[in-house]
Amino acid sequence: MKSRKVLSTAGVLLAAAVLGGCIYLNTLMPIITGYAAKNLASAVFISGRTQADVEALDLNFSFIKFDRNTVDYNNKTVTSRFLWAKSTAAFREGYGVTLLRGDGRQDFLASAYPLPRQEPLPDYLEAGEEEVSARLEPVAEALVDGHAYNGHPFAFVVLHQGKIVAERYAEGISRETPLLSWSMGKSFTNALAGIMAGDSLICINEPTGIPEWQNDGRKDITLNDLMQMQSGLEWNEDYGNRSDVNLMLHRETDMGLYAIEKPLEHEPGTFWYYSSGSTNIVMRYLRGKFSSDQEFLTYMRDRLFTPLAIANPYFEPDMSGTPVGSSYLYITARDFARFGQLYLDDGCIGERRVLPEGWVEYTATPASASEGRYGAFFWLNRCNVCPDAPEDMFSCQGHDGQEIYIIPSKELVVVVLGYSPKPDRVIDFNALLRDVIAAL
C-alpha cells in the first residue's frame, strides 16, 4: 500500500511538472514564433536575403531553430509555427515589417504609406588615400572573408578623415543592401531627439508630462533620465528568457505604452540599467509632438535622413504606428557610416549643422550612475571596455554584432554589421579596432 501511495504521489508531481512546463512554454510561444516571423520577413523583403540563408545563420538557435517558416512572396508575409502556436509578420512598402498582434490587423495592413518613395540621394562619401586602403585590406579580408575575428560580418566600412578607406561585404550583400541596426537604432532616436530639442519642440531636462505617470514618482522622470538609462523604471533586458524586452518586441501592439506602464523601482536619475523600453518611450513621446504619422515621418525624413543621404530608410513601426526606436532600423552600411561621421563632426555635414551645438558633447557625457560606460543612447569607452582603443571612443551597439565606433582622436569611424550571437561567436572588437588603428 505504501509503495502505491508513493507511486501515486510521484505521478501527481510528474503531471504537475508537465503541466507547469506546458504553461510556461505557452507563454514563450509569442517570442519563439514572433522572433522568427519578424526577422525572417525583414531579411527577405528588405535585405533581399534568402530564407535558407537566414534560417541557417540568424535563426539557428534555441527553440527558434525548430520553427516551421512559410514565406508568402505574393502577400509579403512570413508565418512561423512551433507546436500549437504561430505568428505572422507582414511587410508594407515604406514602413517595413511589423509583427501582427491583437485586433485590427486588416485595418493596419490597409493603411497607406503617407510619404512617396524618394530617388536615391547623391552619396557624399569619397574614397580615401589608396595607400591607407591597401594597409587596411588584410584586416577587411580577415574579418569578412576569413572570420578571423570571430562572428559572421555582413559588412565592414572604415572612414578616416571623412573618407572611405575600407569597405567589404559578405557574399550576397552589397553597398545597396539595407541591414538591421538592432540597438544602434537607439542612437538614431538620440539624433531625432537632438534635432527636436534644437527646434524647441522638446526639453530633455524637464519632466515628460506623460499622463500615466502623474500620480506617482514617475512624474519626475525626464527625457534625459530615459536617454541615459536612468529612469528608475522596473525592467528586465535579458534576451534569453521571457523578459520585458522579449515580451515588448514580440507580443505588444504598442511597445512604448508597455514600457510606460512599468512601475518605479528607483529614484529617477540615480540608478543605471540598460532598457530598450526606455528608448521606445522616448520615440513614442517624440511621435506625440506631431499631429499625424505623416507629419512625424516627414519631419524625421527631412531633418534627419535626407541630410545623411538616406533616401528610403525602413524604421519599422509597431502596430500603433510608432517606429521601434530601440531596435528596428534598416539602412545600408554606408548610411550607418555617414551617421557615425555626423557625430565625429560634432553634428555637422560639411557646413550644414544637423544636430544642435553641444548635442554631441552631451551625448558622450557619462550618465552619472553608469560608471563611465554610457552616455545618452550611446556607449562610451571611458571604462576601457576596449582597452586597445582610445578612451574618447563612443559607439552605437547592436545585439548581434552591429557596431559604429566613433573615435575623435583618430578621426576614425568603423562600422561592422553582421551576425555575432552571444556567447558563441562574439566578434573580438577590441582586436579589430587595434588592428585598424595600427594600419592607419
DSSP string computed for 344-388: HTTTEETTEE-SPTTHHHHHTSPPTTTTTSB-SSSEE-TT-SSTT
> Residue 112's pLDDT is what?
76
pLDDT over 90 (residue 190):
yes
The pLDDT of 339-359, averaged and rounded, is 98
Strand partners, 349: 352
> Residue 21's pLDDT is what?
53
In whole angstroms, what is the distance from residue 208 CA to residue 223 CA? 6
> Residue 1's pLDDT is what?
57
* In the chain, where the domains are located: 2-105, 130-439
pLDDT over 70 (residue 3):
no
CA-wise closest residue to 308 among 121, 47, 118: 121
> Residue 151's pLDDT is what?
86
pLDDT per residue as tens digits for the range 101-125 = 988 888 899 887 778 889 999 999 9
pLDDT per residue as tens digits for the range 376-403 = 999 999 988 999 999 999 999 998 999 9
Is the separation of the CB atoms in 166 and 128 below 8 Å? no
> Residue 2's pLDDT is what?
58
Residue 344 CB contacts under 8 Å (≥ 6 apart), including other chains = 159, 162, 406, 407, 408, 411, 412, 413
Residue 419 CB contacts under 8 Å (≥ 6 apart), including other chains = 57, 58, 151, 152, 153, 154, 400, 401
In whole angstroms, what is the distance from residue 80 CA to residue 40 CA? 9
The pLDDT of 248-276, averaged and rounded, is 98
Q: How confident is the model at residue 239 (pLDDT cuts 50, 70, 90)?
A: confident
Four-point Cα dihedral 329, 67, 59, 72, nearest 10: -50
| Top-confidence residue, 25 or 274 | 274
Of the listed ranges 269-278, 292-301, 390-399, 415-424, the least confidently predicted one is: 415-424
The C-alpha cell 540563408 sits at 53
**Residue 292: alpha-carbon gap to chain centroid:** 24
pTM attached to this predicted model = 0.94
> Residue 104's pLDDT is what?
84
Q: How confident is the model at residue 240 (pLDDT cuts 50, 70, 90)?
A: confident
Q: What is the mean pLDDT of the chain?
A: 94
> Residue 22's pLDDT is what?
55
pLDDT per residue as tens digits for the range 50-60 = 999 999 999 99
Here the cell at position 348 is 555637422
In whole angstroms, what is the distance from residue 410 CA to residue 154 CA? 25
pLDDT per residue as tens digits for the range 289-312 = 999 999 999 999 999 999 999 999
Q: What's the start-to-end Cα distance of the chain, in Å?
A: 82
Is the separation of the CB atoms in 359 and 365 below 8 Å? no
| Top-confidence residue, 25 or 238 | 238
The pLDDT of 67-82, averaged and rounded, is 98
**What phi and psi, each to the nearest 5 degrees, are found at residue 128?**
-90, -165
In whole angstroms, what is the distance from residue 309 CA to residue 167 CA? 18
Angstrom distances, CA of residue 63 to CA of 25, 81, 272 = 10, 11, 31
Is the separation of the CB atoms in 105 and 49 below 8 Å? no
CATH superfamily assigned to domain 130-439: DD-peptidase/beta-lactamase superfamily (3.40.710.10)
In whole angstroms, what is the distance from residue 214 CA to residue 417 CA? 41
pLDDT over 80 (residue 91):
yes
In whole angstroms, what is the distance from residue 192 CA to residue 302 CA? 11
Strand partners, 419: 152
